[in-house]
Amino acid sequence: MSYLSEHEDAEETQRLIEAEGRRCLLIPGDLGNADVCRSVVQQTVDTLGGLNILVNNAGTQWVVEDLADLSDKQWLGTFDTNLHSMFYLTKAALAHLGKDDTVINTSSVNAYIGPDFLVDYTATKGAMIGFTRSMSNQLVGRGIRVNAVAPGPVWTPLQPATLGAHNPNWLEDFGKDTPMGRPGQPCEIGPCFVFLASLDSSFMSGQTLHPNGGIIVNG
């Protein structure tokens, strides 16, 4: 499992995985760096003996309500974390993937609804959908499936760290504008990834699942 620098959270995740009798390799590093991505894949293969499932889940977002205030540094940094990491990891992983293996990309409902205060984040998530579709067409002949999950508002540490940091009042109503009237929990999103990782989804590629509280996106 790759992570940036959240050692305590990573170690807790490792504890939970190992409690189920599984192995968990923790690899800290910035996935916006191509060399780090290649190292993550190689360490995984060397330690665990192979690679069958790649989940691209690195993400960051920062609120900017006017494009004139969106700095070049933030634009490039958001693309490095959200989009370029997916490219680097997928490219490195392909040498180790084969028939019935899978790539799962984490997009967002924002790719479809386009919130005006997350332009750079939304742009990366839209690009991920295009990448998912193109890579599916490129790899389907090799038996490798490529799909995406586009969650709606979900309670994760990213929300108070970004939305809450910009305006604490935003968290009070977070997710209430969904048809279900609430945000999701990570445990409600996880089954989508499990499904796409398993052969239960063997006839699905190039598609996006939408655990988003009932928002209709037609995509």
User: Active-site residue 121, yes or no?
Assistant: yes
Nearest of 90, 136, 128 to residue 109 by alpha carbon: 128
Q: Are the C-beta atoms of 58 and 81 separated by less than 8 Å?
A: yes
**Which DSSP state fits 215?**
-
Name the burial class of residue 18, with classes exposed (0-12), middle (13-18) and buried (19+) by CB atoms within 10 angstroms of its CB. Answer: exposed
Q: Which of 159, 152, 141, 179 is nearest to 60 (CA)?
A: 159
Query: Which of 128, 214, 203, 141 lies closest to 179, judged by CA?
Result: 214
Cα angle 160-209-135, degrees, rounded to a multiple of 5: 105
User: In angstroms, rounded to a whole number, what is the distance separating the alpha carbons of residues 104 and 97?
Assistant: 13
Catalytic-labelled residue, pool 3, 88, 112, 121: 121
* 123, two tokens: 């742009």
Catalytic amino acids? 121
